[in-house]
């Protein structure tokens, strides 16, 4: 173990005395060089996704000291940029989320930045909305989204309510890097700052205005639909319970059953250790409810309620739909209903990420809609809405989505919104059910019309310093000169590190292979993982699955 790592560990043992959990952990790892190295070999990374890491002691962990340091760096950035700055703060149900939100507010307020904070946990889109409604200079959302319970973090938002992108993240990181974790951050006492008005609770009126604004995204007009559909809803122990049940009730959906075991906030995510609506295990309790109550639809939102996953019933079987499948169903529904009711704007725009299904191009072309493609991360979709707004064309934006279960149909917020996503999914489901059409039947109709597209995602974990180095080796290998991957010839290689199509440089590689196969390889921005996205266009889903199985065997060998 290097001396500088050991010295920093000893410094923390001496100075990190406020949080007893940290004191205990530092003592526990005293004789374990591997754990000390992992906790201190680097500073917790700050980027366009803000901070995210395992909760615990050390510079590579989420704790009150690293939150203070990051908040002080952000405060310095804000104070340099704005003359009368303010910030909005929200937080989810994760372990220490409330504490970290209060710690951050103490730093901002003591640095002269008026701090608005929700009185209770609230979804990410409510944070984005508050930034815009309160005309704040910035915002933070304390969350680690859908990561396992050992993680926490916070996302940083700009004055437009969109997550910061590359340039702002770099400037904030530069400010953070100037600071010592113990010596430089200044902070006051939360309750005292609240009493003198330097910290202010966000009013219930802001939350109500958010709900009312989401309602405006309805596409029905006077269309008759079946609002008696039985819906199972799970917030997966997170923030979605109040807004989701409220909006569905107020809009007349009369048979919503909440999964009791997952109703209350629980940072340990006791019933779903990986609270990600992308995976079947997270929805397993909800699926049991579907069977028990003979329900038509299951909807589940992740802890900070910006992603939504669904399951539907088909011949007695519960079928999970992917983010891409729900996305193309919603895209077609939005375009179809807007065209039907003559609410399609001039020069309409849809935005998707580079790893999201290319079937979006086919559907958009059918309706005469332009598609803008951006890097992975909904912040880049939000950025496109800003560009349209600056051109006086905000209403041209009609939908944005990403394969990882994120959807947004309006510019009232600038991040994916599972309240809006759930509202539209339920409406779409009820609309088609009223016509005797299931979502699977609608999906098959779209495949027949536009082509059979299949999308697959595999994640490969690489923990610790060795894993970090291995990830770099793998990306370098894919940038090499190999002519093929298994039986598939490499027809074209797109390296986004070079800056493609005016997009920011990003450590992502896209390989266009023979036989209608596309491969995208990218390190996760928030977890020690490499993600491999496979997209295939074929004559049937069965044909696509066979191609995928042959390809993934080769990929698995390469990424061992």
Active-site residues, by number, are: 145
- Whether residue 538 contacts residue 526, with contact meaning beta carbons closer than 8 Å, is answered with no
Tokens of 373: 């493609």
Task: Work out whether strand 231-234 and strand 370-374 pair parallel, antiparallel, or are unpaired.
Answer: unpaired
- Whether residue 232 contacts residue 299, with contact meaning beta carbons closer than 8 Å, is answered with yes
Task: Work out whether strand 529-538 and strand 452-461 pair parallel, antiparallel, or are unpaired.
Answer: antiparallel
Closest by Cα among 335, 552, 317, 307 to 454? 552
Task: Work out whether strand 231-234 and strand 256-258 pair parallel, antiparallel, or are unpaired.
Answer: parallel
HSE-CB for 59 with a 13 A CA cutoff: 21
Classify the phi-psi angles of 514: left when phi > 0, otherwise alpha if psi is within -120 to 50, otherwise beta: beta
Rounded to an integer, what distance in angstroms lies between the CA atom of residue 557 and that of residue 227?
49
What kind and span of H or E run contains 449? Answer: helix 439-450
What kind and span of H or E run contains 384? Answer: helix 378-390
CA 512 to the chain's CA centroid: 26
- Whether residue 505 contacts residue 496, with contact meaning beta carbons closer than 8 Å, is answered with yes
Calculate the alpha carbon distances from 336 to 219, 227, 339, 340 in Å. 10, 20, 5, 6
Task: Work out whether strand 349-353 and strand 370-374 pair parallel, antiparallel, or are unpaired.
Answer: parallel
Q: At what angle do helices 418-434 and 204-215 cross, to 10 degrees?
A: 30
Tokens of 11: 């410094």
Closest by Cα among 458, 456, 214, 442 to 328? 442
Find the length of the chain: 560
Closest by Cα among 154, 147, 152, 150 to 274? 147
Rounded to an integer, what distance in angstroms lies between the CA atom of residue 312 and that of residue 295?
8
Total Cβ atoms within 10 A of residue 464: 15
The string over 498-521, giving b where at least 16 C-beta atoms fall within 10 Å of a residue's C-beta and e elsewhere, is eebeeeeebebbbbbbeebbbbbb
> Dmax over Cα atoms in the chain, in whole Å?
71
């Amino acid at each position: 173990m290097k001396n500088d790592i050991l010295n920093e560990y000893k410094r923390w043992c001496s100075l990190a005395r406020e949080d007893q959990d940290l004191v205990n952990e530092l003592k526990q790892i005293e004789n374990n060089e591997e754990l000390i190295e992992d906790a201190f070999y680097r500073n917790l990374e700050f980027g366009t996704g803000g901070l995210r890491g395992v909760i615990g002691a050390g510079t590579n962990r989420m704790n009150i000291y690293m939150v203070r340091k990051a908040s002080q760096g952000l405060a310095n950035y804000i104070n340099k940029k704005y003359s009368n700055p303010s910030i909005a703060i929200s937080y989810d149900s994760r372990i220490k989320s409330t504490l970290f939100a209060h710690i951050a507010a103490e730093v901002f307020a003591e640095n002269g930045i008026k701090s608005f904070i929700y009185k209770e946990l609230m979804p990410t889109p409510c944070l984005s909305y508050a930034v815009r409604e309160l005309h704040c200079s910035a915002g933070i959302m304390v969350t680690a989204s859908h990561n396992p319970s050992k993680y926490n973090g916070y996302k940083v938002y700009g004055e437009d309510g969109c997550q910061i992108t590359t340039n702002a993240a770099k400037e904030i990181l530069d400010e953070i890097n100037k600071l010592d974790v113990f010596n430089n951050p200044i902070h006051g006492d939360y309750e005292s700052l609240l009493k003198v008005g330097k910290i202010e609770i966000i009013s219930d009126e802001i939350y109500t205005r958010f709900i009312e604004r989401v309602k405006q995204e309805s596409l029905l007009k006077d269309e008759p639909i079946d609002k008696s559909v039985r819906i199972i809803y799970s917030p997966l122990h997170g923030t979605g319970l109040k807004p989701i049940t409220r909006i569905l009730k107020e809009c007349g959906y009369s048979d919503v059953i909440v999964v009791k075991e997952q109703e209350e906030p629980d940072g340990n995510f006791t019933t779903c250790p990986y609270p990600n609506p992308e995976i079947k295990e997270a929805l397993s309790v909800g699926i049991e409810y579907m069977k028990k109550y003979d329900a038509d639809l299951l909807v589940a939102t992740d802890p900070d309620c910006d992603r939504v996953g669904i399951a539907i019933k088909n011949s007695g079987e519960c079928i999970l739909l992917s983010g891409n499948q729900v996305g193309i169903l919603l895209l077609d529904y939005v375009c179809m209903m807007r065209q039907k009711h003559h609410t399609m704007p001039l020069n309409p725009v849809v935005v998707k990420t580079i790893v999201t299904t290319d079937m979006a191009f086919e559907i958009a072309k059918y309706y005469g809609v332009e598609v803008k493609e951006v890097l992975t991360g909904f912040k880049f979709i939000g950025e496109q809405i800003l560009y349209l707004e600056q051109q006086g064309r905000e209403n041209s934006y009609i939908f944005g989505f990403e394969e990882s279960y994120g959807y947004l149909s309006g510019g009232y917020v600038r991040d994916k919104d599972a309240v809006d996503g759930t509202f539209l999914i339920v409406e779409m489901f009820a609309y088609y059910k009223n016509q005797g059409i299931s979502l699977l039947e609608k999906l098959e109709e779209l495949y027949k019309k536009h082509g059979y597209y299949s999308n697959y995602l595999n994640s490969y974990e690489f923990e610790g310093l060795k894993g970090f180095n291995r990830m770099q080796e793998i990306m370098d290998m894919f940038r090499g000169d190999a002519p093929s991957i298994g039986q598939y010839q490499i027809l074209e290689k797109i390296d986004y590190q070079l800056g493609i199509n005016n997009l920011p440089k990003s450590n992502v590689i896209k390989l266009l292979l023979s036989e209608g196969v596309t491969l995208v390889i990218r390190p996760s921005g928030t977890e020690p993982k490499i993600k491999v996205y496979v997209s295939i266009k074929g004559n049937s889903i069965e044909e696509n699955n066979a191609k995928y199985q042959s390809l993934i065997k080769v990929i698995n060998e390469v990424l061992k």
